[in-house]
Structure 1
Amino acid sequence: MNIAAMIKLTVAMAIFGSIGFFTIHTGIPAVELVFIRCICATLFLGGMWLIVGGHKSEKWNKKEIEKTLLCGIFLVLNWVFLFKAFEEMSISIAISIYNLAPIFVLILGVVLLAEKMSFGAILATIVCFIGSILIVGLENFSSFNDFASSGFGWALLSAVCYALTVFISKTISGVSSYALTFLQTIVGILMLFPFCDFTVFEGLTTTNWLYILGTGIIHTGFVYYLFFDSIRNLSTVVVSVLVFVDPVVAILLDVLILSFSPSIVQIAGILLIFGSILYTVYYPTKVSHR
């Protein structure tokens, strides 16, 4: 067990748990916020990369660079979709749906790697989706307009893109963590520049800019360096368990600071989702040690 990697991932997830709180105080839409995050992270990680001299010893492999760039596309889409979800629904609800990602990683393994999926895993997947419907509310599925305005679709897309990011990044080993995230945030800048409305930056307060820079330097640069540096040294099961630090922090902040008060049905949905995910990542490990 790589203790240092576990600590890095735990710290990264704890910090990332506050991203929803920061996002709603930036005062700008999802696309523009992700664009600024990518600029801040590129400068931060590029500077760190130069300071530690990593650029001198970096070994470039065409196949791994292609994977890194593809991973960058999914990473940026994951951010945009998650922030769009924050605009439409409570942070707690969005984060709960977002953390369906481990289930999607499992499904990707079945589809792309021909891994076998047990009956328990299939049942857990079904229960997760039932839980996600409960926390959004059955009434929001009565018509397409209600569904579209609920933010469910954005949160679900963010989970899928996050799963693809984790799935692909686990196959990248020759690119340093600095170079990996640096290249991915460059991809974000190029992707989002044509879609940015720069008028949204007019009239922002100092507080808005502090939250914006915080999401860029801390939540993007620092956190994603820790994230990608740690997951390559940890098993998928350990990564899947430690990412639970993120929603725990997010939900606590939402309840304690933003006064979110979930209904009994929403609490049941949250418990169904996280209970099923814990079963999915823990039960196979338990069985393998019998």
Structure 2
Amino acid sequence: MYFILSMIIFGAVGVFAKYIDLTSSEIALFKSLIGGLFLVLVCICTKHKPSWQNMKKNAIALLIASIALSGNWIFLFQSYKEATLSNAALSYYFAPVLVILLAPFVLKEKLSFKKMGCVALALFGLFLIMQSSKTGTTEHHLLGIFYGLIAACFRVVCLFCSNCSGW
């Protein structure tokens, strides 16, 4: 039940972001405030106290991850506003491809032939999406796809920050 509820909530984010009469940065701010208040409430209810020592130890990674998460949300919400919801979501979910490409440098993983084939297929799919968006009725589709790709880049930075700090 929790999984279904979380999927409904996350799936509706794009619809709300596209039709809410706020800027992308305002939506990201309110999302952060609501999420932060919810976490404070959970901490109070469970009597969980955050470890200030761990926060100090990971301060730089937390700062970078916070900036990256903010950029992620702002560009994702702007992508929803500029492109169709499907094109925005598809470009945003290009993040795993970026992880595959960066993993040999950041995580010292091997880049196999199979992974490179998957990256090539994903790039081809993105190319097809961009080509179909050129003939679309809205001139902002390509800009929305570009914003989605920027959001994906910020998402990858968040992932690597959390991996490097041992969260």
* TM-score between the two structures when normalised by the length of structure 1: 0.50
In the other structure, the counterpart of 1:101 is 95
Question: Is the contact between residue 133 and residue 142 of structure 2 (CA under 8 Å) also seen in structure 1?
Answer: no
Where do residues 273-288 of structure 1 align in structure 2 (5 Å cutoff)?
none
- Give 1:44's match in structure 2, choosing from 29, 38, 45: 38
Distance in 2 (alpha carbons) for counterparts of 1:163 and 1:79: 13
Amino acid across the alignment from 2:143: S
Give the aligned residue type for 1:160.
C
Confirm whether residue 33 of structure 1 aligns to residue 55 of structure 2: no
**1:54 correspondence with 2:84:** no
Equivalent position of 1:78 in the other structure: 72
**Aligned counterparts of 2:15 and 2:133: Cα–Cα separation in 1:** 27
What secondary structure, in the 3-state scheme, does the structure 1 residue paired with 2:89 have?
Answer: helix
Counterpart CA distance in 1 for 2:17 and 2:80 is: 8
- Tell me how far apart the structure 2 counterparts of residues 167 and 12 of structure 1 sit (CA, whole Å): 24
Alpha-carbon distance change, 149 to 102 in structure 1, aligned in 2, over 3 angstroms: closer
In 1: Cα distance, 2:3 partner to 2:61 partner: 22
Pair 1:127–1:18, CA change in 2 (3 A) = same
Shift of 1:161: 1.2
Shift of 1:168: 2.4
Which residue type is aligned with residue 161 of structure 2?
I
Fraction of identical pairs, as percent: 26
Per the alignment, do residues 26 and 45 of structure 1 end up closer, same or farther by CA in structure 2, a change over 3 Å counting?
Answer: same
Per mean C-alpha deviation after superposition, the further-off stretch among 125-134 and 89-98 is 125-134
Cα distance, 1:30 vs structure 2: 0.4
**Higher Rg:** 1
Aligned-residue offset at 1:172: 4.8
The reply to whether residue 159 of structure 1 matches residue 161 of structure 2 is no
Matched, 1:115 2:112: no
User: Are the aligned partners of 2:82 and 2:140 in contact in 1 as well (CA < 8 Å)?
Assistant: no
Counterpart of 2:143 in structure 1 is 150
User: What amino acid is aligned across from residue 69 of structure 1 in structure 2?
Assistant: L
Distance 1:102 1:137, change over 3 A: same
Q: CA deviation at 1:77?
A: 0.6
Which runs of 5 or more structure 2 residues have no equivalent in the other structure? none
CA RMSD, 1 decimal: 2.7
Query: What runs of 5+ residues in structure 1 fail to find an aligned partner?
Result: 1-6, 175-290
Shift of 1:162: 1.3
Give TM-score, length-normalised by structure 2.
0.82
Note the C-alpha offset of 1:171: 4.5
Q: Counterpart of 1:246?
A: none
For 1:148 and 1:20, the matched residues in 2 are separated by 15
When residues 52 and 64 of structure 1 are mapped into structure 2, their CA distance, relative to the original with a 3 A threshold, is same
Contact 2:84 2:141 in 1 (8 A): no
